[in-house]
Amino acid sequence: MTDIDAAAARWTSVGRRTSIGRLVARYALPLMIISVVLVAALTTPGFAESTNFRAILINTAITGIAAVGMTAVTLSGNFFSLGVGATVVMAGITFLATADRTGSAALAIVITISVVVLLGGAQALIVAAGLNPVITTLAFGTIIYGAIAVWTGGEVVTAGATQVTGLATADLVGLPMPVVAFLVLTAVATVLTERTVMGRQLRLVGQNRETGRTTGISVLATTIVAFTSLSIGAALAGIFSAAQLRQMQANDLPNLTMDIIAAVLVGGAAVGGGDASPARSALGALLLVTLGNVMLLHGLAPGVRVFGVGVITVVLVVTLHLIRKADAR
């Protein structure tokens, strides 16, 4: 064998390994979801019932909408929002209180999304100015939680006589409204991040911010887009949560922030930025909610369920990281 033949063989072998790695990274998550569903249907009483599937889809939608919104933040190299849980709760309370005062659920939706987007814009300006995004979002989350607690006095907030439950219970094309919104948002976010100039700019800035600046990309603009996406996702998640629960208070959804971040990580997002997918984040949310549902049906204690989901998240994140490193070689 000549040197050229040997080199060609080595490159072919590397290419084959890279292709296999990419295939594993792309299809491991959906295959795992299918496996979990099949095993659970055979071993878990009540799992395969239509009412349980509906509950899984609605819970996935609420977590997944926020995770899809946060994907742009991670893609742009701004890590995560540690205030997303408080933002979701604030959105829910704002929606219920506004619906009660105006008597209009539609007007309450518009006002809620507007308020949350403005808060997201404020965070974007601070982060784009150079402050650490983790510190910024953590600080905003604390401020938001404190403001909610003072505003409500720790009391439960409802929509009064205004009908809002239809947002969570009504079906559209045979699916619950939150699920339809989840699917539409995931599709739109996927197209925007993978098929548009702004999506490519988000990815480039996330991979190397200085290179992005050198090529004329505005870090301020990409950061505002990323936090606007986060805000819209958090607002919708809060609205649907409030419609489902029919009431909210400041201490609701204590684990939501970690659930959202876990969904993005399980979806294979690179923490440092430059690689994330709304569709994969959506699948990550579906996997984690399904696993939590299975453990609940088996009667496991809340602490055990949280521990189990945490272990699975770590294993998947480490595995995807190793696959990504192997592809880069």
Contacts (Cβ under 8 Å, ≥6 apart) of 205: 76, 77, 212, 217, 219, 222, 273
pLDDT for the residue numbered 12 = 45
**Block residue for tokens 């400041």:** 250
% of residues, the chain, pLDDT over 70: 90
pLDDT for the residue numbered 309 = 85
pLDDT for the residue numbered 122 = 97
Closest CA to 109 of 232, 263, 265: 232
Q: Cα–Cα distance between 43 and 36 in angstroms, integer?
A: 10
> What structural domains and CATH numbers belong to the chain?
29-328 (1.10.3470)
Flag residues of the chain having pLDDT under 50: 3-18
Q: Mark 5-35 as b/e (b = at least 16 C-beta within 10 Å).
A: eeeeeeeeeeeeeeeebeebbeeebeebbee
Q: Cα–Cα distance between 28 and 11 in angstroms, integer?
A: 25
pLDDT for the residue numbered 16 = 47
pLDDT for the residue numbered 21 = 56
**Residues in a beta bridge with 91:** none
Checking DSSP bridges between strand 247-248 and strand 157-158, what pairing results, if any? antiparallel
pLDDT for the residue numbered 214 = 87
pLDDT for the residue numbered 15 = 46
pLDDT for the residue numbered 288 = 94
First to last CA, the chain: 25
pLDDT for the residue numbered 211 = 84
Prediction pTM value? 0.90
